Amino acid sequence: QLQLVESGGGLVQAGGSLRLSCAASGGTFSSSAMGWFRQAPGKEREFVAAINWSPDNTYYPDSLKGRFTISRDNAKNTVYLQMNILKPEDTAVYYCAAKELGRLYRDTCSNSWQYNYWGQGTQVTVSS
C-alpha cells in the first residue's frame, strides 16, 4: 500500500509562494491518481487540486485556479503543489491523497472518499 509524506510547508508572507511535495512509497504511484486537500481550523476539509496519471489531466476548484498548480514526477514518485500569490485564507494543513490504481473525474475528484491513502499533512501559514 502507498505511504505518503508531505513536506514544504511553513510560514510565508501574503503574496509569497510555496511548493509542497508529497513523496510516495510502497505502492504503484505511477498508476495512482493524486490529490491535495486542505483543512483550516474549525473548517471542513477542502479540495485543492487533483492529477491523473497523465500530468496534463488536472483539476482545480474555480476559487484556486490560476494560483495553484499540481504536477507530478513519476520517476521520483512525487506529486507537487505550487502555490503562488498566497493569502492569509490559504492558511491550513495541506494533505496529499492517493487513489491507487484509479482515475479521477471532474465531478468526483473533490470527494475525499475517492482517495484510498492520505498523508499526515503539512502546515502552511500565510501572514498578512
pLDDT digits (tens, 9 = 90+) for 56-115: 899 999 999 999 999 999 999 999 999 999 999 999 999 999 999 889 999 899 999 999
The phi, psi pair for 60, rounded to 5°, reads -145, 150
Please determine, for residue 7, whether its predicted confidence score (pLDDT) is greater than 90.
yes
Min mean pLDDT across 5-9, 98-102, 120-124 is at: 98-102
Q: What is the CA radius of gyration of the chain?
A: 13
- The C-alpha cell 500500500 sits at 1
**How many angstroms separate the CA atoms of 97 and 37, rounded?**
8
Count other C-beta atoms under 10 Å from residue 32's C-beta.
Answer: 28
